[in-house]
Amino acid sequence: MLTPLYALFLTTLLALCGPANAQKAAPDASTVPVTVALSTHANDTVHLDMIGSGSARHSVVIFPAVAGEVAEVAFRTGQTVRAGQVLLRLVDRQQRLAADLAAAQVDAANALADRYEATRGSGAVPESVLDEARAVLRGAKIELAQAQVAVADRVVYAPFSGIVGLSDIERGDRVTTDSALTTLDDRRVLLIDFDLPEPYLARVALGHTISAVNPAYPARSFAGKVSEIDSRIDPLSRNVHVRAVVNNTADLLRPGMSFTVRLTMQGKTFVSVPELALQWGREGSFVWAVREGKSVQVAVRPVRRAAGRVLLDGALTNGETVVVEGVLRLREGRSVRVVGNTNGSSETP
């Protein structure tokens, strides 16, 4: 049985020691437990993939200038031809006869004009007759030129150097000016057309490097450069038409091929934080930073989201501690207690 004096001693001891131990064991209710992460530097580099379509630098469908019967087909499918090389001839007997007749008329008119000119000083031939002879000569020369053009039109030439495509034309066929004889492509350089979304227009300029991949060569990338940018943006798609040039001297690529075009656009360096750290309030977006153990609201502007993180522009610096969990209880200047770190460490006071 305890004596009254001993009981009083125990009561006093518990009163002095008990509250202190209880306060030490329980966390301070004024601190907020949070999970944090470190901000890092990140470059606003964008890799944009688009679908493009290839075409030859020069590409035409060959049509005859006049109708007629085919006398000779001077090419074969897949043949490389030079500029000015004969591709096809039409029967031209009548046209050549007409040219010969016109040449004879020129000779006769020229001889008559020369005779009149020789008697000009004697006055035997009136000046009006001489003028008429000169006019007849000019008309004969024009008719000869027209006849020679008609002969030339019976021959089809290659307008530029390139590779000839398929053709169904045979010797003896009758063709008209609407008959497609063949195609001709200069594919030493291939053009790739693609549509660029409007938000990226300011980041692309002439000479910008692109890479293109075709399904026929999935493991190979073809380098090229932007050569043309359209002057207008499509009001429906909000895209701008862009054209790039790709060297094709190896002749691996064909007009009409599809490509996955990749544009890499380098940007400024920003601070990057996990997406969960970005908050929104009445005055805009912000993050909670931990400075000297207290929460500080830092106004920021989100630039771009990528891979679970967001690039920010604002007063936040590289290497700062930001809150990613526990933000709902935070207020400006409130003490925080770090209970977790998404960078891989944790701290418990």
CATH classification (class only), 92-152: mainly alpha
pLDDT at 27 over 70: no
Least-confidence region, from 25-39, 85-99, 138-152, 171-185:
25-39
CB distance 280 to 60 below 8 Å = no
| Tens-digit pLDDT profile for residues 110-123 | 998 888 888 776 77
- So where are the chain's domains? 32-44+268-341, 51-57+189-265, 92-152
Spell out the SS3 assignment of the chain. CCCHHHHHHHHHHHHHHHHHHHHHHCCCCCCEEEEEEECEEEECCEEEEEEEEEEEEEEEEECCCCCEEEEEECCCCCCEECCCCEEEEECCHHHHHHHHHHHHHHHHHHHHHHHHHHCCCCCCCCHHHHHHHHHHHHHHHHHHHHHHHHHHCCEEECCCCEEECCCCCCCCCEECCCCCCEEEEEEEEEEEEEEEEHHHHHHCCCCCEEEEECCCCCCCCEEEEEEEEEEEECCCCCEEEEEEEEECCCCCCCCCCEEEEEEEECCCEEEEEEHHHCEEECCEEEEEEEECCEEEEEEEEEEEEECCEEEEEECCCCCCEEEEECHHHCCCCCEEEEEEECCCCCCCC
Domain topology for 51-57+189-265 = Elongation Factor Tu (Ef-tu); domain 3 (2.40.30)
Mode of pairing for the β-strands spanning 182-197 and 239-247: antiparallel
Q: How confident is the model at residue 95 (pLDDT cuts 50, 70, 90)?
A: very high
pLDDT for 306 beyond 90: no
By C-alpha distance, which of 268, 224, 256 is closest to 242? 224
For 37-50, write each residue's pLDDT tens digit: 999 998 888 889 99
pLDDT digits (tens, 9 = 90+) for 185-212: 999 999 999 999 999 999 999 999 999 9
Which class would CATH give 32-44+268-341? mainly beta
